[in-house]
Amino acid sequence: MAVQPILKYPHPLLKKLAHPVPRLDAEIATLIQDLIDTMQAGPGSVGVAAPQIGAGLRVCVVDVSKSRHGKDNHHGLLAMVNPEIIVRSGSAVMREGCMSVPDYTGDVERATGITVRFLDGQSGAQQEVAASGFEAVAIQHEMDHLDGVLFLDRVVSISTGLFRRKNYG
């Protein structure tokens, strides 16, 4: 249980389809804790997916509660195993960034409301969560990692919607 290094684009594992988790066990519990630790250590991070730390499994964590964009509309820490979006509604373009693509942000169109079904990685229970706004965007972003998709693949316009990240350090 520790902060793990984040794979950076163009690492080939970031473009691979992640495998379903057959059962929750101690190995998956450790992976989930590593994802949580890694997310919490990342500056401004609101989520991490298993492929970003080199694990090709359908597991991701999202927590927008500490973000100014999500602090008023969230479900807290979501540890999602084998998540699938079962409902999508609305559409909006938002600026996204990613720890695996640290030098850029981009304008991405996403659903503004989703319902996601998953196995809760902490309780083991099947759950459905209706998310909206920034939380919905964060969940979709992390779930894309499970399909080998980066926000770069979804930027609305490479010529006008991709931006070099400002260096605040």
DSSP character string of 55-76: --BSEEEE--TTSTTTTTS--S
Q: With H, G, I as helix, E, B as strand and everything else as coil, classify residue 105.
A: strand
Asked if residue 99 lies in contact with residue 48, where contact means CB atoms within 8 angstroms, the answer is: yes
The label of the residue with tokens 């540890």 reads 79
Cα–chain center distance at 117: 15
Catalytic residues: 142
For 86, residues 6+ apart whose C-beta sits below 8 A from its C-beta are 115, 116, 117, 128
Residue 110 near residue 94, CB atoms below 8 Å: yes
Give the separation between CA 129 and CA 147, rounded to whole angstroms.
Answer: 20
Torsion over CA: 64, 40, 35, 102 (sign): positive
